[in-house]
Amino acid sequence: MNITITKSVSNGILIAPYQLNIWLGCFILITGNISTIGNIIIFSSRLFRNRACTIYLLTEAFVLIFFFNFVLLTRTLQKGFQIPLLNRYDVICRLRYFASQYTNLLAINLFIFASLDRLLSTHRSPAFRKWSGQINLAYKLVLVCMIIWLLISCHRLIFYSALTGQCIAQQGFYAIFDNYFEAIVSGFCPPIIILILSYLLMQSVRSTIQRQTVLVNTVHNRSAPNLTFLRKTDKQLTRMLLWQTFVAIPAFLPYAGELIYTNITQYWSKSDQWIAWEDTCTEIIRLLSYTFFSTRFYVTLMSSDGIREKILNIFGMKNRINPINEP
């Protein structure tokens, strides 16, 4: 963040990046923790336990606890409250930038695994369906995923440093490589993969509905209840995927664009006013990149009547909200 103050730049623009990190950063930190704790409570309950999909989502939730309370918290303290943790302590600098990439990629990968498991479970081919719901396979994939992303991200423990008084990547080729790698892997790839899996999952569910419709017409409505359930599921799934896509695009794509723009324009001559606006836009984009994970619980609640009902059951609230009239 450029902190050069000139008379040509208004104070409002200069302090905007700090205020954004304080207020928006704290808001995302609080809502993200609530969302993550909500997911942990739901997916560790008896209603959802012992499912392959749940293993991915529960592991993701624990990863996000660290993501919010170390990666985002240190960002808020450093860039909002001006507590120079990263610039002062080399160990925190290295760990923070390593954790930023590692936890982000790991959480995205686990979410993709969960979506892929649901896709396989609705596939028309038994050869594909047999790969869904395998708990032992889920544990193995989680472990492999953790190891692979650890190996891929560990370079930041070596090439990031605060020895110069500023926590930055090693200048030259590595800094350019790291920026483009993050832009592609953390920016462009996630929304593209999410869109593809969402489309395939919707198509798979609708294909199942069509097959059930034919079966209903053949066996005289014996499968009608199942068909009604599938149609309700399709409606809720469509709503949830639309919301997830709506959140994913502004969370990931602008972040990738900002990283590439920074690389391309880093040596350009810019006015103080332009730099100030750049700093403000950069902070908005980088803070919004946390929203995909901080809104997961709320998207699920808004999208699924079944999930809301099960949450009420988990907390024992259903009977209190809808009391049973006893004779």
Termini Cα distance of the chain = 68
Phi and psi at 82, nearest 5°, equal: 60, 40
Phi and psi at 256, nearest 5°, equal: -65, -45
- Dihedral (Cα; 74, 274, 175, 187), 10-degree rounding: 70
Cα Rg of the chain, angstroms: 23
- 3-state DSSP assignment of residue 161: strand
Over 70: is that where the pLDDT of 218 sits? Answer: no
- 299 contacts 240 by C-beta, under 8 angstroms: yes
Sign of CA dihedral 79, 83, 89, 95: negative
Over 60: is that where the pLDDT of 322 sits? Answer: no
Over 50: is that where the pLDDT of 223 sits? Answer: no
Res 325: pLDDT: 45
Res 234: pLDDT: 52
Of 96, 86, 80, the C-alpha closest to 23 is: 80
Q: What is the mean pLDDT of residues 93-113?
A: 95
Length of the chain: 327
Res 120: pLDDT: 85
How far apart CA 66 and CA 103 sit, in angstroms, is 8
Over 70: is that where the pLDDT of 304 sits? Answer: no
Sign of CA dihedral 183, 186, 189, 190: negative
Number of folded domains that form the chain: 1
CATH number of the structural domain spanning residue 237:
1.20.1070.10
The answer as to whether 182 is a domain residue is yes
The answer as to whether 99 is a domain residue is yes
Confidence bin at 53 (pLDDT 50/70/90): confident
pLDDT in tens, 226-237: 556 555 555 565
Res 274: pLDDT: 92
- Contacts (Cβ under 8 Å, ≥6 apart) of 24: 284, 287
Q: Answer with the residue of higher pLDDT: 266 or 2.
A: 266
How far apart CA 237 and CA 300 sit, in angstroms, is 10
Show the domain range for 274.
19-213+226-308
The Cβ of residue 322 has, within 10 Å, a number of other Cβ atoms equal to 9
The answer as to whether 153 is a domain residue is yes
- Contacts (Cβ under 8 Å, ≥6 apart) of 122: 129, 201, 204, 205, 208
Res 227: pLDDT: 54
Quickly tell me which residue has 């942990």 as its tokens.
40
Q: What is the mean pLDDT of residues 192-211?
A: 78
How far apart CA 167 and CA 103 sit, in angstroms, is 19
